[in-house]
Structure 1
Amino acid sequence: MTTPSALWERARFDWDTSGNRTLASARHLSDTALAVRPGWQTFRAGPVTVAYGGYRAGRSHVLPFLRERARAAGLATGEVREGAPGGRLPDAELVAFGCSARRAAALPTAGAVVAPFRVHLVLPLATAGERRPLVVSRKERQRFARERVSRGWKLEPTDDEADFGYFYRRMHLPTMARRHGEATRSVGPAAARDAILARGVLFFVTEHGERRAGMLCRLDRPGRTLTLRLAGVLDGADEHYRSGIFMAMYILIARWAAEQRLARLDLSGSEPFLSKGILQFKRKLHPHVELPPNHFAAKRLWIGARRDTPAVRDLLAANPVVAMGPSGRFEAVYFHDARRPPRTDLRWEGLNIPSARHVHLDAFLAGLPTGAGAVRPCA
């Protein structure tokens, strides 16, 4: 029997993630109304002030990513400060603004690029009823074949609540804490159990019969889609990442989904930057970059430089963007100048992005506005 609390968890989860067009549209309109007068959050990264404003989801998605990338660039980051609501761009060297596609198109273009708010990475498993072969980078394919035999990796599907409790406590929570620390964002145990497990599958990957990694997935039978939601390795131990079992789990689940005659495996979402570690990891599976199948599809991220400084150039060059033009076409944008070569080691190939563009920072940052240009509320 489904309890009222389980129904509530499912309703709340669907409000956040549903691909139902009516529900996704209602959620987007609600988010837009709440973002009419955004409060800016800012932090110092060495000599640079970075700001985020607009959709509240960016506080848990965009802002932590920007802080992590500033630290990766060797910049000491300060605490996030809450700014007062207002309709003008803040006095910051680098600004990220979450807004609707229409609002993004009306914002200044000098020193700015527009990206999807989030992207999803999707593996097509079947076309016109025919199964598609799974494409994996040669290095990972060879490693998987070798280690699968030596370590005895096997996939174990389950929907048992006791198994879920073990996965959540021993795998998911320790992995999130170890790899993301204070930037961890996840689904609570009640929602994970009542909204995902109850409508999905939990997978374990065993090594010589012992559970070493797990993935909780949402299964949409009518849409023939399996979506990866929560993951972890036993006790969050680095040894399991070194063994290759995490990639093995993706490959084994993809094969299981294909055997079930599902059409798509949604590898879940990412910030629209090629420097995002999980995006580069999943790129090895040759997924397609798509707009999210929920309210995030209607959201955009306007990224604008306010001043031309060495640190701003460092951050832009180090973080190529998955940009989106007015036509909806994706492209990988690499910033560079005479001192900063394009970060082509952060590859876009294998993501089904149509093209890449190299943008010289001298041209990109030329003609930046010198005042605090007005920003009207999101619409």
Structure 2
Amino acid sequence: MTTVTAAWERARFAWDGSDSRALSTARHLVDTVTATRLAWQVFHAGPLRIAYGGYRAGHSHVLPFLQERARAAGLATGSLTAEPAGRRAPEADILAVGCSDRRALALPPAGAIIAPFRVHLVLPLAAAGQPQPVVVSRKERQRFAREHIRRGWALEATRSSADFGYFYRRMHLPTMARRHGDAARSVGPRAAHDTILAQGMLFFVTEHGERRAGMLCRLDRTRRTLTLRLAGVLDGAAEHYRSGVFMATYLLIARWATDQGIERMDLSGSEPFLSKGILQFKRKLHPRVELPPNHFANKRLWLGVRRDSPAVRELLTANPVLALGRPGRFEAVYFHDARRPPRTDLRWEGLGISAARHVDLDGFLAGLPKDGGPR
């Protein structure tokens, strides 16, 4: 890779994810201007049509998530296709708009909800200068204590380029491919090496001396924050999730960070839905939901229903939303109706959220055109 190409990758990485206030503000302004010129995209999920318009990032964050959740809800048995649409909002059952907070508030409120574009999960490690223990369930504590000894888990910290190559090739890429398939997205190896590793640390968890899982983290000692950026288990094998070594990686890194005087452990980002698998996994650590520290902090996701149908109700019920309430506050919103109970098995407790709100779809969708079929 040429020096020019490497410099370009580093610059693009900073543009995409820097927590610098000036750079984040500039990125948000550019995104807001260019979003007005981007075409809508529409995809079909069986009887359901969902359209997305707005920030370009939604094509890699919002659309793939909604497609995956449509499959999970049984609304699509085949492949989902995307089609370009014009700049005007197309005919669709659900419109998803990536936009600024001001525009989200100006869009029609009926049958709509405003969520953060993305959220971050942050684990506090210290308060008033005193270490704060990581809170996990009694079951998780007992499992960790038992398996820690039995499996000989240990944490290895390194900044070696050779170790990074092993992690990226044998852990990160296979794990992303297994979990996300064609929708996998990540940081390129050169940008990850020259930016994250150069400003952070690579961790491995070994089992009787053999590496089983790893995480690449950015370390900001000025802000006393450790941010988890890339993760993986050896060869992406499911057995390393079943053994508990992946959860052990979080716990052992948190212990290391506390010993280093780190006050916050940013577990990285997620789409604002309680049905997101990694969000439910990280919820076990009792993190706080926060707006992202970069340009995503000023972006919003406006979800508006344009047509009431059984498929729309299935999708909304199956995917409780982390919505924005009062300034700086989040609430878990559970949709339901007489045929579909709220998905309270997707829990909000342990996420630093003050409340949950149950929304009856009959009232939420009142006045909208209806498609046929039992509701």
TM-score scaled to structure 1, two decimals? 0.94
Amino acid at match of 1:100: S
1:18 positional shift: 1.1
Amino acid at match of 1:58: G
Partner of 1:39, secondary structure, is coil
- Aligned partners of 2:323 and 2:55: how far apart in 1? 18
Amino acid at match of 1:212: R
- Please, which moves more after superposition, 318-327 or 248-257? 318-327
Gaps of 5+ in 2: 371-375
Instruction: Confirm or deny that 1:205 pairs with 2:205.
Output: yes
- Aligned partners of 1:261 and 1:9: how far apart in 2? 31
Q: What number of residue pairs does the alignment pair up?
A: 367
- Aligned partners of 1:142 and 1:109: how far apart in 2? 47
- Aligned partners of 1:53 and 1:8: how far apart in 2? 28
RMSD: 1.3
Quick one: percent identity of the two aligned structures? 75
Structure-1 residue corresponding to 2:271: 271
Structure-1 residue corresponding to 2:246: 246
Structure-1 residue corresponding to 2:298: 298
Matching of residues 305-344 of structure 1 within 5 Å: 305-325=305-325, 327-344=327-344
Instruction: Confirm or deny that 1:64 pairs with 2:60.
Output: no
Amino acid at match of 2:353: I
**Cα contact 1:98–1:300 (8 A) shared by 2:** yes
- Please, which moves more after superposition, 4-13 or 198-207? 4-13
Structure-1 residue corresponding to 2:83: 82
Q: Which structure is higher in RCO with an 8 Å CA cutoff and minimum separation 6? A: 1
**Cα contact 2:286–2:350 (8 A) shared by 1:** yes
Partner of 1:322, secondary structure, is strand
- Aligned partners of 1:365 and 1:174: how far apart in 2? 42
Matching of residues 175-214 of structure 1 within 5 Å: 175-214=175-214
- Please, which moves more after superposition, 212-221 or 3-12? 3-12
Partner of 2:40, secondary structure, is strand
Structure-1 residue corresponding to 2:373: none
Deviations 1:185-229 (A, max 9, x none): 101100110011111100000000000110000111111100000
**Cα contact 1:44–1:78 (8 A) shared by 2:** no
Structure-2 residue corresponding to 1:144: 144
Deviations 1:267-289 (A, max 9, x none): 00000000000000000000000
Amino acid at match of 1:52: Y
- Aligned partners of 1:366 and 1:89: how far apart in 2? 21
1:78 positional shift: 4.0
Structure-2 residue corresponding to 1:162: 162
Partner of 2:75, secondary structure, is coil
Partner of 1:351, secondary structure, is coil
- Aligned partners of 1:99 and 1:369: how far apart in 2? 25
Amino acid at match of 1:211: R
1:5 positional shift: 5.2
Instruction: Confirm or deny that 1:350 pairs with 2:350.
Output: yes
**Cα contact 1:9–1:194 (8 A) shared by 2:** no
**Cα contact 2:67–2:80 (8 A) shared by 1:** no
Q: 1:116 to 1:286 in 2, by over 3 A?
A: same
Structure-2 residue corresponding to 1:133: 133
1:367 positional shift: 2.1
Structure-2 residue corresponding to 1:373: none
Amino acid at match of 2:157: P
1:141 positional shift: 1.3
- Aligned partners of 1:138 and 1:253: how far apart in 2? 19
- Aligned partners of 1:26 and 1:39: how far apart in 2? 22
Partner of 1:358, secondary structure, is strand
Partner of 1:206, secondary structure, is strand
Structure-2 residue corresponding to 1:11: 11
Amino acid at match of 1:352: G
Partner of 2:85, secondary structure, is strand
Structure-1 residue corresponding to 2:364: 364
Structure-1 residue corresponding to 2:235: 235
Deviations 1:109-148 (A, max 9, x none): 1111000000000001111211111111222111111111
Structure-2 residue corresponding to 1:110: 110
**Cα contact 1:43–1:78 (8 A) shared by 2:** no
Q: 1:38 to 1:12 in 2, by over 3 A?
A: closer
**Cα contact 2:308–2:369 (8 A) shared by 1:** no
1:6 positional shift: 4.8
Partner of 1:265, secondary structure, is strand
**Cα contact 1:171–1:213 (8 A) shared by 2:** yes
1:167 positional shift: 0.4
- Aligned partners of 1:5 and 1:226: how far apart in 2? 28
Structure-2 residue corresponding to 1:53: 53
Partner of 1:240, secondary structure, is helix
1:369 positional shift: 7.1
**Cα contact 2:217–2:230 (8 A) shared by 1:** yes
**Cα contact 2:44–2:82 (8 A) shared by 1:** no
- Aligned partners of 1:331 and 1:298: how far apart in 2? 18
**Cα contact 1:41–1:82 (8 A) shared by 2:** yes
Structure-2 residue corresponding to 1:374: none
Gaps of 5+ in 1: 371-379
- Aligned partners of 2:85 and 2:319: how far apart in 1? 28
- Aligned partners of 1:150 and 1:317: how far apart in 2? 42
1:326 positional shift: 5.3
Structure 1 stretches of 4+ with a deviation exceeding 4 A read 3-7
1:4 positional shift: 5.8
Instruction: Confirm or deny that 1:287 pairs with 2:303.
Output: no
